[in-house]
Amino acid sequence: MTTIAMGEMEQLRKEADNLKDQITAARKAMQDTTLQEAAASINVVGRVQLKTRKTLRGHLAKIYAMHWSTDSKLCVSASQDGKLIVWDSITTNKVNAIPLKSSWVMTCAYAPSGNLVACGGLDNMCSIYNLKGKDGNVKVMRELAAHTGYLSCCRFLSDSEIITSSGDCTCVLWDIETGTQKTIFAGHQGDCMSLAVSPDFKFFISGACDFTAKLWDIREGTCRQTFGGHESDINAIGFFPNGNAVITGSDDASCKLYDLRADQELITYQDSSIMCGVTSLAPSLSGRLLLAGYDDFNVNIWDTLKAERVGVLAGHDNRVSCIGVSSDGMACCTGSWDSFLKIWN
């Protein structure tokens, strides 16, 4: 490296440090109170006791992912047995059992329209399946291949666009019709593990193994904000239902709530008795409850405003790998390495 280049490098490093200090100071300047203080006058919610209403049996190996359809009735699950199963959660019937080319699946998603499902994993691809094909057979519609690392998560924006997150540290917006990458969202310094789309479909958030969560503007292709604080990989991420806050779950055994407009962490959900990582999370319809799945086979239910544990879902015989609350808020579904899905309310 030339002396001139080294000089510029030093200058840039100083500038970067200054900017980081600026951001820290600007965030601190907004801290006229804490969420804990602001919520001091409201009571903790009463003990939440949910019961298993349905058990969805059929997978023959670990379940890695599940996603509700927007109709709050159907849901899709992905298992290491190499199958995607679309379930009617009310009757427990299997609507579709789709065999996959690669059994190393890590994620699945249901399109808002209900017409498509997607999955992907260690094959580094996102495969799109058409559930409403003319002859009734479910076939692969597209294979989105370009990631150089595993597919950790995918979420549809519509029948023509999907966003994926990958172990190659990037997220990508794809055009499903042409099978091409529309936008690459680069910036994370570690594997991207999870993503969630904002309720207005304008933004998405990603959680990664660099311990940060990033907010991305889908159309501009830029990272708007970066949130730190976790001491280990972020495995799960979700939007607070009003779209103004983000909740993350990490290997550091805690979940955190970050407000987007205050640009900072507002509260941490942790307990000294919990020492294992968070694998999955989902807020309830009102945002008052946070259901988080942990490596110790349990789901803890948190009062999001008071940061107190108000319930536990114990019912699986192995790690809870995925959790989702239906759009109408009626039920929560948990998927586990024990090969079962359970519907609770």
Partner 1 sequence: KIIYTHAPVHKEGRHWCKKGHCRVKTEYNIYIKRLTVTTMTSNSNLSTMRRLVEQLKLEASVERIKVSQAATELQQYCLQNAGKDALLVGVPTGSNPFREPRSCAVV
8-state DSSP, 159:
S
In the complex, the smallest distance separating the C-beta of residue 187 from partner 1, rounded to whole angstroms, is 7
Q: In sequence order, what are the residues at sequence separation of 6 or more whose Cβ sits closer than 8 angstroms to the Cβ of residue 287?
A: 240, 241, 242, 245, 304
# residues contacting partner 1 (CB under 8 A): 86
In the complex, the smallest distance separating the C-beta of residue 281 from partner 1, rounded to whole angstroms, is 14
In the complex, the smallest distance separating the C-beta of residue 285 from partner 1, rounded to whole angstroms, is 4
Q: Are 278 and 292 in contact (CB under 8 A)?
A: yes
Closer to partner 1 by Cβ: residue 176 or 279? 279
CA distance 154 to 171: 9
Asked if residue 55 binds partner 1 (CB under 8 A), the reply is no
Contacts (CB under 8 A) with partner 1, residues 7-36: 8-9, 12-13, 15-16, 19-20, 22-23, 26-27, 29-35
CA 247 to chain centre: 9
Query: Hey, what are 344's tokens?
Result: 């609770």
In the complex, the smallest distance separating the C-beta of residue 267 from partner 1, rounded to whole angstroms, is 9
Phi/psi for 336 (5° steps) reads -135, 165
Give the interface segment with partner 1, choosing from 2-10, 111-119, 132-140, 175-183 (CB under 8 A). Answer: 2-10
Asked if residue 184 binds partner 1 (CB under 8 A), the reply is no
Give the interface segment with partner 1, choosing from 110-118, 126-134, 175-183, 326-334 (CB under 8 A). Answer: 326-334
In the complex, the smallest distance separating the C-beta of residue 112 from partner 1, rounded to whole angstroms, is 20
**Identity of residue 336:** S
Asked if residue 115 binds partner 1 (CB under 8 A), the reply is no
In the complex, the smallest distance separating the C-beta of residue 23 from partner 1, rounded to whole angstroms, is 5
Query: Hey, what are 236's tokens?
Result: 């799960």
Query: Hey, what are 177's tokens?
Result: 């019709």
- Helix residue spans in the chain (DSSP H): 3-29, 35-38
Asked if residue 330 binds partner 1 (CB under 8 A), the reply is yes
Asked if residue 169 binds partner 1 (CB under 8 A), the reply is yes
CA distance 341 to 345: 14
Q: In sequence order, what are the residues at sequence separation of 6 or more whose Cβ sits closer than 8 angstroms to the Cβ of residue 3?
A: none
Give the interface segment with partner 1, choosing from 128-136, 153-161, 198-206, 283-291 (CB under 8 A). Answer: 283-291
Look-up: residue for tokens 């499903």?
Answer: 176
Closer to partner 1 by Cβ: residue 72 or 96? 72
In the complex, the smallest distance separating the C-beta of residue 305 from partner 1, rounded to whole angstroms, is 6
Give the interface segment with partner 1, choosing from 110-118, 125-133, 143-151, 172-180 (CB under 8 A). Answer: 143-151
In the complex, the smallest distance separating the C-beta of residue 229 from partner 1, rounded to whole angstroms, is 14
Phi/psi for 21 (5° steps) reads -65, -40
Choice from 69, 77, 79, 80 touching partner 1 (CB under 8 A): 80
Bridge pairing between strands 299-303 and 308-313 = antiparallel
Bridge pairing between strands 105-110 and 116-121 = antiparallel
Task: Kindly list the distances between the CA atom of residue 249 and the CA atoms of 48, 124, 221, 230, 253, in Å, as whole numbers in the listed order.
Answer: 20, 24, 25, 9, 8
CA distance 253 to 238: 16
Asked if residue 190 binds partner 1 (CB under 8 A), the reply is yes
Contacts (CB under 8 A) with partner 1, residues 198-227: 209-210, 222-226
Query: What binding mask, one character per residue, do residues 241-270 give for partner 1 by CB under 8 A, x or -?
Result: xx-xx-------------x-xxxx-x----
In the complex, the smallest distance separating the C-beta of residue 19 from partner 1, rounded to whole angstroms, is 4
Query: What binding mask, one character per residue, do residues 91-110 give for partner 1 by CB under 8 A, x or -?
Result: -------------x-x----
Query: What binding mask, one character per residue, do residues 302-321 give for partner 1 by CB under 8 A, x or -?
Result: --xx----------------
Hey, which residues does 172 pair with through a beta bridge?
164, 184
Query: Hey, what are 226's tokens?
Result: 């970066």
